[in-house]
Structure 1
Amino acid sequence: MAVKIKRGDTVRVIAGKDKGKEGKVLSVKEKKILVEGVNMVTKHEKPSMSNQHGGIISKESPLDISNVMYLHNGKVTRIGYKMDGDKKVRVAKATGEVID
């Protein structure tokens, strides 16, 4: 099954502790997705060259891709594909509009 959500898309969380939050997709790997400002966890880091003092930092943790939906014009929608001439484009199922 193809992953229909790409980096840079805006999504809304539909399940889990952050249900209802919206954010921009930072990365997509297999069936996991990283969304800006969603599913934050605290992590203890040792001092290193990039972080001289170390300490407790807060960062995003991956979500399962099934827990988010694509946000198009303020409404969540599923994504489909159709051929536009000789190009395959993504389409919002709710409105039928071409996404990209």
Structure 2
Amino acid sequence: MASAKIKKGDSVVVLSGKDKGRTGTVAQVIPKDGKVVVDGVNIVARHRKPSQTNPQGGIDRFPAPMNISKVALADPKDGKPTRVRFEVKDGKKVRVAVKSGETIDG
């Protein structure tokens, strides 16, 4: 896969699916599978039987991984989705929001 345009800690906007339009922070990136985990988005419920480690049992709710193509970086200026390009500034490779031209890191 190419250089990571979305990294852990980035603010992203969901482009499609049941959570379309919602924003969240990237908790984990799984580049091998091309997936990201976004806090508060794509929440799934797992019904757990009581066990020794969890004697109460119950329903666990947690964010599931979603395809990286379903999210776009939130523009630092207005929070709307934007694409990302790379530029070299002061001898350092930085990410730049295409929509506003704002530098994302650095």
**TM norm. shorter chain > 0.5:** yes
CA distance in 1, matches of 2:63, 2:19: 12
SS of the counterpart of 1:28? strand
Percent identity, aligned pairs only? Answer: 45
Please list every run of 5 or more consecutive structure 2 residues that lacks an aligned counterpart in the other structure.
none
Contact (CA 8 Å) 1:48, 1:54: kept in 2 or not? no
Return the TM-score normalized by structure 2: 0.85
Structure 1 position 82 matched with structure 2 position 87: yes
Q: Over residues 24-52 of structure 1, what are the superposed CA-to-partner deviations in whole Å (9 max), with x where a residue is unaligned?
A: 11000111000011111101234353x44
CA distance in 2, matches of 1:48, 1:4: 42
CA distance in 1, matches of 2:58, 2:10: 32
SS of the counterpart of 1:66? helix
Contact (CA 8 Å) 1:7, 1:28: kept in 2 or not? yes
Partner residue in 2 for 1:60: 63
Return the TM-score normalized by structure 1: 0.90
The number of aligned residues is: 99
Please list every run of 5 or more consecutive structure 1 residues that lacks an aligned counterpart in the other structure.
none
State the AA in 2 paired with 1:86: G
Selected match of 1:94 from 74, 91, 99: 99
